[in-house]
Amino acid sequence: MGEGGENGRAKKTVFVTVGTTSFDALVKAVDSDKVKEELFRKGYTDLVIQMGRGSYFPSKITSLSHQVLLTTWISGDDGSLSVDHFTFSPSIADYMESASLIISHAGSGSIFESLRLSKPLIVVVNEDLMDNHQSELAEEL
């Protein structure tokens, strides 16, 4: 973090995690041109999306390697926003640690790890889950 990125921009990463379930609504939302444009405008250089078990696959995918889907979405004179997607990883700790901002489902593990790391966090409740404990946890916090 804070290292020089492309064209001198400081590296700023947004990490999105949906956990082990599916949360296509969140993946679709962060994959939208509007969100990517705004992240780029705010100075973010990297967007990493952990997609879980969902059926939605991000647009503009350019390659598939070791369950990592890579694409570069937007570029300009002052750099680009690199977008990486993957389904699962044995550990997301490194992704969370290197993130400047975390956008997460309302799972307790993701929330508490983000807080432990003192990372800015946006929590999105997955309304599609049965017996929605995520909503209860998010409301309590």
- pLDDT in 10s for each residue of the chain, 141 residues: 445 555 567 999 999 999 988 999 999 999 998 999 999 999 999 999 999 988 888 766 655 544 556 666 677 777 789 998 888 899 999 999 999 999 999 888 999 999 999 999 999 988 877 565 656 666 665
Name residues whose C-beta falls within 8 Å of residue 106's C-beta, 6 or more positions apart in sequence: 123, 124, 125, 126, 134, 135, 137, 138
Instruction: Give the pLDDT score at 49.
Output: 94
CA terminus-to-terminus distance, the chain: 27
> Domain 6-140 is in which class?
alpha beta
Instruction: Give the pLDDT score at 66.
Output: 45
* Cα(121)–Cα(21) distance, integer angstroms: 19
Helix-then-strand count for the chain, H and E: 5, 7
Domain ranges of the chain: 6-140
Instruction: Give the pLDDT score at 9.
Output: 77
Alpha-carbon 13 to chain mean position: 9
User: How many CA within 13 A on the CB side of residue 63?
Assistant: 7
pTM of the model: 0.82
